[in-house]
Each structure stands twice: as structure tokens, then as C-alpha cells.
A and B are shown apart, each in its own frame.
Chain A
Amino acid sequence: MAGATSAAADRKIVAFCCRECAYAAADASANARTPLPPTVRLVLMPCTGRVSPLHLLSALAEGADGVMVAGCLLGQCHYREGNFNAVDRVAFVQRLLKSVGVEPERCQMFTMSAGEPPRFVAAVREMDRVIVGLPPLPRSEASGNREVPLAAARGAA
């Protein structure tokens, strides 16, 4: 087992960010050189409505210790309702994680407007705080994959 610091450095959080709000807020916070924990890895999505449980569970199964979905404020979705779908799917994945004994807080939803970079930064820092506070997800020795049941993922969509 590595020490606390190196453990934190090894962690990975995949942040599925919608292009309209969260990614825009991320860009804006970055332009202001606001430091972020390097655990986070941004994945650009057209809308959080595109995020399916498959993406969240696969990411957790294949290397991520946490996943976050960051979208527009509810009611402000560029496509009207994509972020509501995302809220549902995140809640579903949380229930699924809980049922197999994985901490549900490894998967979280955040909303913000493009004009609220501080909210994006706060979301990432919060997620980092949670994930660094948890042990790494156990890794299957044989396959190198994590022991999260993937079978349900496709059907969950």
C-alpha cells in the first residue's frame, strides 16, 4: 500500500462535462488559472443527456475511482431536458453501486451555468475530496479490470 500522498496522486476521476455549461465553465476557470486537483480528467460531451450508465460503470470498471457528470443548471439545458435524464441515470448508477457494495458517492452529478466557473471548481474539488478519502477501487488480478458488474450496464440504459 502506498502512502496517502502517492495514493491521492494515483486516483482518477472522469468528469463527463457538457459542452454548453460545464466544459465552458471549466475553460473559464482554467483561463483564470484556477488550480484544480490533477485527479480529474475531462471528457467533452455534447450534453449530459448523452451520458449513459454504460459510460459511468465502464469508467469505474476500467480505471476510474470516481465519475462525475457536470451539466447545465436544471431547466437551462441547451437541449431542454438532457440534464434531467442525466440526474436520473446518476441516481440509477448510485443505487446499482450501493447494491454491489461500492460507495455510491463515487458517482455524482453537478450542475452549473457556463458563467459560474467557481461552481465547476468547487464541484471538482468536492469530488476529489471524496475520492481521495476513499480507498482505490479494488482491481481484479487476472484481467486488470475492476470488479464492478458490467453486465447490467448495457441493459440499464
Chain B
Amino acid sequence: MRAGVFLCECGGNISGVINLEPLAAHVRGLDGVVEVNVNQFMCGTEGRAMIEKAVEERGLDHFVIASCSPRFQGPTFERIARELRLGENAVAFGNIREGCSYVHGHEPERAQEKAKKIVEGAVARLHHMSDLPRHRTFLNRSVLVVGGGIAGISAAEELAATGIEVHLVERQQSIGGSMARLSKTFPTEDCAMCSLAPRLTGTATNSRIHLHALSDVTAITGPPGEFNVTVRHRPRYVNEKCVGCGECAAVCPVTYPNDFDFGVSERTAVHRPFANAVPATFAIDRKGWSPCKTACPVHTSAHGYVALVAKGRYEEAWRVASEPNPFPSVCGRICTHVCESECTRGNVEDPIAIAGIKRFIADHGAPAELPAPLPVFYDEPIAIVGGGPAGLTAARELAQFGYKATVLEALPVAGGMLRVGIPEYRLPRDVLQGEVERITALGVELKTSQRCGTDFTVDSLFNDGYKAVFLATGLHQSKDLPIPGLDQKGVLRAVEFLRAQALSEQMTTGKRVVVVGGGDVAYDAGRTAFRCGAEEVTLACIEDERTAPASSEEIEEGKEEQVAVEYSLVPIEILGSNGAATGVKFQRCTLGEPNERGWRPPVPVEGEYVELFGDTVIFAVGQAIVDDFTAGADGVTVERGQIGVDPDTMMTGRSGVFAGGDAAAMGPWTAIEAIAAGRRGARAIHNFLRGEQLVPVWDAEADKVKIPHTELEPFEPQARRIMKTLDGVARRTTWEEVRLGFSEEDVRQEAERCLDCAVCSDCKSCVTACPADAIDFDQKAWDEEITVGAVILATGHQEFDATRKLPLGYGRFQNVLTQSQLARLLAASGPTAGELKRPSDGQVPKRIFMLQCVGSRDCTSSGNEHCSAICCLFATLHSSLIKQHYPDAEITIGYTDLRAPGKAHEEYYRLVQERGVRYVRGRVGEILEEQDGSLTVRMENTMTGSKSEEPYDLVVLSAGLEGSKGTQDIARVAGVQTAAAGFIREFHPKLAPVDTQRAGMFLCGTAQGPKNIPDSIAQAKAAAARAISMLSTGFAMTPAQVAASDLEVCIGCGVCEASCPQTAITLTVGADAHSVVDPNVCRGCGICAADCPTGAIQLGGFSDDEILAEATV
């Protein structure tokens, strides 16, 4: 080795502390050193000439530069070495400036000693340094620009002008960014939108710019020059047919805080943020299915009809409610409403009374006339056995598909358990009948008093020409308990009792009734008994009060009607005398451990017995299938009391025979589950007959979302409306409906409690309203892979969250706004068309106070240290606009220091002062709200030291700038660092202000730091120029600092492959398996080299030998 050592004085920065002559003398004696030189500035031309001369005359093959930090001038000397054909990795650095003279100036003797060691270390390193290979790599001549604000579109336009293809990715539905939300711009006071709109259109129509709005960059992999980018396109739910007419927004029932206007206005779920938006198409803000919709077994858009009811649109609401469910009136009354259990408002208080709202729209929104018969498209007739909710729903679905469906009902009336199980006082007959008639009006044929197994069989149906059969026969028989005394007079079974009453309307019971059971049927039987002559009704169930299975409505109404309930009793004998029942003997019990199906068997308590006396005993301990339909239905099996079906096809063991509802249940035995089963059955039959999977049998729940209430805008608590009922005891003798329904006023107020948690309510009003047929709810998010040579990050800023400054009242007091909100109120295209109206009462404020440096220049934990650079002039601009529009306005700006650097800014500040705006140097302690919404500002004047307390009509906070959420996200995806306040860190604050630490990734606009519009544009064009200069050659070299594996040493263990964060390493297959590093992908971190157990993988320029040589000197 022939090494040279060059010691830099750095114009005294080094030589002022370290005496370089003795250092040079010391270095001359080191092994391998043949030349030592000292220069004033090694980085200058003289220094370069000195190196050139030494290499030529002394035949140097390596050299040491002892100067400043290698992070500073390292690349300069590496380039010199390359140009002198010494190859890669020929220079070692001794950091004697930042590493020595700068930090040990107070101890020069020790600094001198340390400098010796530093240079010794660098020379020691040279002995282990060898040339490193580099490879040519292809550069893709296209650029990804992330962020479509003024910076992003400026960069995109500049790139496109040179012929480079640009992919512009914007997270929002329109490009335009923050500038689109401004009213006017300082210091010229020209309209922001007027200067921006042509640029937006120009971007959209530029054939070299591929605009991806409503999209996110989710991954960037691969090397500079050939980045592989994954772009996730979020669904707009509005396709390219949209002409931007806005008919959809006019009918959308959802109102949501308008984020584009910073919450000072409301918008609909389907919307376009501003008139000049690009793309001009609307989009639906739809997080997915609301929890209520997800919870419903038929996935009724409960959110949809609730939103429509809030707007008084009852008939449309009825259409939403009845679209998946032919029984909205029924379900509005007796549904178990799992939708309410999942309601987001239910997380904090009582959920929305969804069922009550549904009942209202069924009672008041249903069209008076019956629907017209549907045309029959298919000639396969279908028989449906059982006219309950499952069977009738299936019939309607099949009629809608285009089939002729015939419903065969064993009883003389249709409706199944809705008709003969649920008592009239809960579900009036005419209500049910009305919905049955809507089904038959579609062309569904209904034949009553037709019992399967007796009047016809499944075989005979096929013989008669039916091509498919749906069995929905229900559970129409009570279960019995194996206890003595069941055959005595006065012992009734609930299912049979309720059915007989429903069909004959003249059952009578004794005066004292004991009902065994604690579910809804037990309550129905007990409460029916009151209406059949009973004076005392006692329910006895095995469950305790906490686990009682009845619905809360039944329990509540039973209590009102004075139904007595005894818990934790298991019946052991019916007491009787002369063949007539006189009561029931029970044993006290507790509930045992749950079995595999979750049922907890009763465990009798020894020796504790209870006797309840009554002349009528009604058993309501479960329902069973009546399986007479299996005669003449070979292949249809009944197991454990249920018809066996394939859950995916709903088909029984016999081809063409399907089953659903209580008789083939896959969920709880409820009306809504039966309706869901009817829908599935109909779809399964359609698929079967058409021979393909035309419609999904089970609703996909891919879209379901559960939005925590904490992620929503803050909302006020509001009590749930209570539905009125008939008086408790008095109603025991009448069959009139107990629950009276909501009044219109109540129902609308109740509907307004909805938080619109999924934003779009899925009411589909827009689908009907759109003249262009552009609404498409089937759109899904999809990923696109694109390859680009370079990336420009222009993801911008967000306003500091002023709620973090509690004493200032933002978010608590209506008349405390931020400058961004004020910009919307002052914008001609804003929600008030440029009229300044304060939020609390819509009055024009006269006394206005603006507070500067909110969250900026603030070293407390709730603020940011930096100056946000634009706020002084932002406030000045708004004051000027207000003053010109409302000359009477009295505006005070409370500032920390007034900063107006930049061209024409100081002049503008003086002009606005002359317009009469008062500037006061001061800090605000707190802001208080008065009764009328006006505000009192407590301030200390920092010029005079005096304290003041002044009344104002409006306060505007100049909240500072922070890196936007999008900036944080892209920093993570791109692997670049963020610094304080979330701004992306540039490679070098002075020398490389638009480069990031990742090669090929550049930076511009407020993602880098606070700045105004012209600075953002200038920086964007600089970033574009950097990308162009990088890509202009079409080729580049891979870096020298990459890992490489030595095949002779590698044992093929695979540790490096697992540890590489870039997946740059692969392991070859076979007996001599070894690792291979792709130098295009490797980013040179060296984790693999640290992990390698044999030392086979080494990092170029950072081998173990090089590191240790320096570290052990």
C-alpha cells in the first residue's frame, strides 16, 4: 500500500486547536504512509491539485483526508478518488473538525492527542480497504408525485413538460390541496381559486400526467431508478359517467361536517368538495356498511331509512326498509332488533330506536296501492311449503327473480307464527295481512289449508310440474317435559294455546294461571291468558333474573301488566285433584356450566321446593318440528328436530328440495332470521335452476365497518324517545295494540340522533336520482402496481389542532375559529358566499380579535417550537379583506413578533396597518365565553406589561402548520425520516434542500416545512429539476456500499435472508446453497453483515476488518 495523508487546516477551524505540523510528523511514521501534506482548504481547488499531484508523483493507491465530518465533504473526496482512477473505497476519513477541534477547543492538549489517534485509525482502516464493484442500472423515465396540492401539481407540470410520464397520487377526491381552500392570497389579494383552477384543469388534461385521486401510496420498493409503487385506489362509488350535475347530492339524506370547509358547514355523503374540483365527478364518502346494517340478518340499510326519516321522506324510507324485507311493519313491531344492539350511539347512551322508526315508516310511509304483478320470465314453477315469514319472503324473492311461486299453507290463514304465534295485541292482524297481500299482489299464489304429507307430498309437487320446493314449515308444536300430571284438565301447551286463540278468538283460561317458561312465548301465553279471562298470571322459569331469555320489551310490558315471575325453578310435577290441575310443584335450581352449545342446564338445589297454585298451567318450554311432511319426501331428513340442509346451498338431501326458517334454522328462531332464510332459499333455488352461481346465497359482509364513536365528530348526548303504550293493567282485557307508535315529531327527533357513523347510509336515493346512471355501489378498493424512476413527495401540511390549547376555547366556544375556517367564510365560493357571519347567531361580527402563534413558537408540550412562517401575513390578509368589506370592523391582532420577510410583505403589512387594523404585541392568558356567545380576551401587553380584558364578537386563532397526516404516512411508506412537527427531513438543510435521505426521492412544499405559495412552487420546480437530472441519462450506477457474500465462506444458513429489511438477499437452492445479494435492491444498512455467523457477508466500505481497524486504534 502506498498511502497519502492530507491534513486540512480548514482555514483555522482545525489548525486553531490542533497543531498540524507535529501531527504530520507523527503520521509520516505510520506503516504504509508515503506522503503527508497540509493545506488550508483540502476541499478547494488547491487541495484537489495537491491530491492529484501526490497520486501522480508518489504513486498513491489510497489516501486519508483528515478534515471535517465525512458526512459533509466525504462525497467530494470520494469523487476525486474515482476521477483519479483509484476506484471505489480508496479514501478513509479522519474527522478532526466536528470530531475533535470543534468540540475539544477547551482542552487543546487532549485534542492534539486525540487527533493523532483519529488519523491513525483512518490509516489503519486503509490497510483493509479494497476496490468495490458497481453495476450499471436502468432508470425508468417516469416520476411518482405524491400529493396534488400546488406543490405537487407544479412539479408534475414541470416534469411532464420535459416528456417524463408522471403519476400524480392524491389522497383526497380532488387535487388542489390547501390552496383550494383559501379565499385570497397575500400580498396581492388575488383570488386563490382563480389562479389555481386553470392549473387544476391543465393537470387533469395533460396527457403525460396520470391522475390518481382518492388514492394512497401503500408501498414503495426496489432501487432508485426503478421503484415499484403500489397505489391503492379507494372506491368513489361514482363512475366516469358522472356529469357533475349534483342531482345525487340534492337527494342525499345524510348531513356530515364538511371537512373541506374545516367544519364550518355541512355536506352530504355524496359530494364534491368545491365547484372546480378535479376530477369533477362526485364521490360518495362511504366507510362501509353501518353497524346496524351489518347486524341485521337481512342487512336492511337501517341507517338509510333512519336518515330519510330525519328528512321527513317516509315513503322513500319505506322502500329502503322493504327492499330486503317484505315485512317492515312486522319487524317494526316484534323484531329482536340486533341493529339497535350494534348502534354506535349505543356505545355511549341508549341506541337509536330503530325498530320504532321502522314501524312509523311502515305505518305512514307505505304506499296506499298494492304493487302490480311482476312478469314471469322463467317457466319453472316453484312450490313453497309453509306460508310463514320464511316461505312468504322466499316467494317474493322468487317472484322478483321472475319465477311463478306458489305458497302452500297448512293453516287456513297465511303468516305462520306471525299470525298464530304472536298475539294480536303485539302484532295486529290487519298489519300482517297488509304485508301478505303486498306479496300475493306480485303474482305469488297462496293456497291455504294445504298440509304437506296429508293434502299433498313433495313427490306429488314434482309430479305436478314444480321444479323446486322450499320447505319452510316452522316449529308448530310445543315441547313437553317428562314430568307427571301432564294429562290433567287445565294443562295447556303454549304454541297450541296461542294458535287456537289466534284462529278461534275464543279461548278461556282459569282465574289463576301458571306459565312454565321464561321466554317470549311464555310471556305471550301469559299475557294472552289475561285476555282470556285470567286474573293472576305467574311465570316460572329455570333461569335467574339476569339470564332470563325473554326480550326486554316483553319483560317490561309483562311487568306493566303485572305478570308475576318466579326465577330459578325447575318443574317436577303438576299438582292436581280429580283429574284437574291445581298447580305446579317446582324445585329450586341454579344454572350449571354451559355445554358446548352455550346452554346452561339447571342444577336442582336439594330439599328446596316451591308450589305455585293455579287452575290453568301453560307449558312454554320450547317448540318442536311437526315432521309429517317427510312422508313422500325421500331424501329429506330431520335430525335433532331440524331439517338437514347444506348451509352453502340451502338444499336438503334431495335434489331440488330446499329448506329454511325455524324448521331448518342456522341462527336463532326469530322472524328476521326466518326472513333472511327465505331470501337465501330463493337465491339458492334461482342458482339451482339456472345452473350457476348467479347471486350469492349468503350476503357478503366484506364492507362491514365498526367505527368507534371516539373517531366521530363530538356529539351531544340526547335521550332516546320513549314510545307510548296503553295503560298496563287496563289493557289486559283488550286485544288493542299495546304499543302506540311514535308521533311524527318524536320519530324525526329520534332519527336525528343517528350519528351517520359510516357517513353514507346506503339508502341508494342517489342511484334513483342520478340521470347518468353513474352511481356504482359495487366498486371496491383495488391496488395498481406502477414503476417509476423517481419519487417527489409533496404531501403538505395540516393546521395545528387548536383544541390542544384549552384556555383559548377552540372547539368549546362557537365563535372561536381558526384562520383556515375564516378563509372558508371569506371565500366567495365558501359556505356563506364570502359573507362574514359568526357561527353562534349568523351576525356580522364588529369587534374581531386575531391571536398569532397558536401552537407555533411554543416550547410547551402542547405546541411546536418552530415559526410557521405564514401566519402573520395570513392574519394580515384576512384583516385587510374584512376591513375592506366591513369598514366598521374593529380588528386587533395580538402577535408575538410580527414577521413579514419576503418580497412586498413588509409593504403589505404597513398598508394594512394604515387601513386601520390594530396590532398589539401580547400574549393571551385565556378566552372566556359570555352568555350571548361573545368572548372576553384576557391578554398581557408585552410592550407595556399591562394586563387587559377586552370584549370581542369573534376570535380567530392563527394556528400554525404541522406536517400533514399524509406526510406522516408517506414518510413511513417511503422510508424517509420526519423531524420535529412531522415535516419530512431533507438530506441537507442547505446543500440538498429538496433531496431526502433516500436516493431518487425528492421533497417539496409544506411537507418539508412551513412556507408560502411561491416558495412551495419554487421548491416544487427544484424537486422536478432534481428528478429530471437524475433520470436524464437513462442509466445510473449501483452504489458501492452494498452487501456481498463470499461463496467460499457462506454456509447457506439463511440468517441474512431473514434479517434483510429490503428482501435484497436470496438463498440459492441445492447442496451448496449460499446467499446472493441483489445490489439494485440492497440499501447498504449492513444488518445482514452483523447477523452473519461466519463473516461471509460483508458490507462494502464497512467490513468487519475496516471497522475494527479504526475502532481498536
Q: Which chain A residues have a beta carbon within 8 Å of chain B's beta carbons?
A: 9, 14, 16, 19-21, 23-24, 26-27, 29-31, 33-36, 38, 41-47, 49-52, 54-55, 58-59, 62-64, 72, 76, 78-82, 85, 89, 113-115, 154-155, 157
Contact = CB atoms under 8 A, between A and B. Distances in A.
B71 A19 contact: yes
Contacts of B1083: 79
B133 interface: no
Contacts of B102: 30-31, 33
Contacts of A26: 69, 98-99
A80 B1091 contact: no
B1102 A30 contact: no
Contacts of A46: 1041, 1084-1086, 1099, 1102
Contacts of A45: 1086, 1102, 1107
B377 interface: no
Given A33-B102, A80-B975, A154-B1093, A47 B1086 contact: yes
Contacts, number: 146
Contact of B1113 (A63, A82, A113): A63
Contacts of B114: 38, 41
B319 interface: no
A49 B1111 contact: no
Given A26-B98, A79-B1061, A113 B977 contact: yes
B1104 A55 contact: yes
Nearest to A121: B103
B879 to A, nearest CB: 34
A45 B1099 CA distance: 11
A43 B1092 contact: no
Interface string B964-1002: 000000000001011110000100000000000100000
Given A81-B1061, A157-B1090, A76 B105 contact: no
A27 B98 contact: yes
A73 to B, nearest CB: 9
Contacts of B997: 20, 78
Interface string B687-724: 00000000000000000000000000000000000000
Which 5 residue pairs are nearest across A and B when measured between Cβ atoms? A50-B1086, A30-B98, A79-B1085, A49-B1087, A62-B1112
A49 B1093 CA distance: 15
Contact of B979 (A34, A38, A58, A113): A113
Given A24-B71, A46-B1102, A29 B1041 contact: no
Contacts of B1099: 46, 50
Interface string B1058-1099: 010110000000000000000000011111011111010001
A85 B1112 CA distance: 23
A23 B1087 contact: no
A20 B979 CA distance: 12
A134 B800 CA distance: 48
16 contacts: A19-B71, A27-B71, A30-B69, A35-B105, A41-B121, A42-B99, A44-B93, A45-B1086, A47-B1087, A51-B1090, A52-B1104, A79-B1062, A79-B1085, A82-B1085, A85-B1090, A155-B1093
Contacts of B71: 19, 23-24, 27, 44
Contacts of B1086: 45-47, 49-50, 82
A54 B1085 contact: no
Given A14-B1111, A31-B98, A58-B1112, A38 B104 contact: yes
Contacts of B1091: 52, 85, 157
A117 to B, nearest CB: 11
B104 A114 contact: no
Interface string B1040-1059: 01000000000000000001
B787 interface: no
B887 to A, nearest CB: 47
B99 A50 contact: no
B1089 A154 contact: no
Contact of A49 (B98, B979, B1090): B1090
B991 to A, nearest CB: 13
A33 B105 contact: yes
Contacts of B110: 9, 38
A78 B1104 CA distance: 21
Given A31-B102, A63-B1113, 19 more contacts: A14-B1111, A16-B1111, A23-B69, A24-B71, A27-B69, A27-B98, A30-B97, A30-B102, A36-B103, A47-B1085, A50-B1102, A54-B1104, A58-B1112, A64-B1111, A79-B975, A82-B1061, A85-B1059, A89-B1090, A115-B979
A38 B70 CA distance: 19
B1059 to A, nearest CB: 7
A84 B1089 CA distance: 15
A90 B71 CA distance: 25
A151 to B, nearest CB: 14
B771 to A, nearest CB: 50
Nearest to B985: A114
Contacts of A20: 977, 997
Interface residues of B, number: 54
A115 B975 contact: no
B115 to A, nearest CB: 10
Considering residues B69, B1091, B1092, which has the most beta carbons from chain A within 10 angstroms of its beta carbon?
Answer: B69
Contact of A38 (B107, B980, B1062, B1102): B107
A106 B72 CA distance: 30
B1089 A50 contact: yes
B111 interface: yes
Contacts of A35: 103-106
Contacts of B113: 38
A29 B99 CA distance: 10
Given A115-B985, A154-B1095, A72 B1107 contact: no
B316 interface: no
Nearest to B121: A41
B1108 interface: yes
Contacts of A52: 1089-1091, 1104
Interface in B59-116: 69-72, 93, 95, 97-100, 102-107, 110-111, 113-114
A34 to B, nearest CB: 7
Contacts of A34: 103
Contacts of B1084: 46
A26 B1099 CA distance: 23
Contacts of A51: 1090
A85 B1085 CA distance: 12
A41 B118 contact: yes
A19 to B, nearest CB: 6
B979 A114 contact: yes
A32 to B, nearest CB: 9
Considering residues A30, A31, A59, A76, which has the most beta carbons from chain B within 10 angstroms of its beta carbon?
Answer: A30
B117 interface: yes
Contact of B99 (A30, A59, A82, A89): A30
A50 B975 CA distance: 18
B1107 A80 contact: no
A131 to B, nearest CB: 15
A43 B97 CA distance: 14
B105 A78 contact: no
B1110 interface: yes
Contact of A58 (B111, B975, B1108): B1108
Contact of B1090 (A19, A31, A50): A50
Given A46-B1085, A80-B975, A36 B104 contact: yes
A50 B1099 CA distance: 8
Contacts of A63: 1112-1113
A34 B106 CA distance: 10
A114 B121 CA distance: 25
Interface in B104-149: 104-107, 110-111, 113-114, 117-118, 121
B1008 to A, nearest CB: 13
Nearest to B99: A42
Contacts of A23: 69, 71
Nearest to B1101: A46
A72 B1085 contact: no
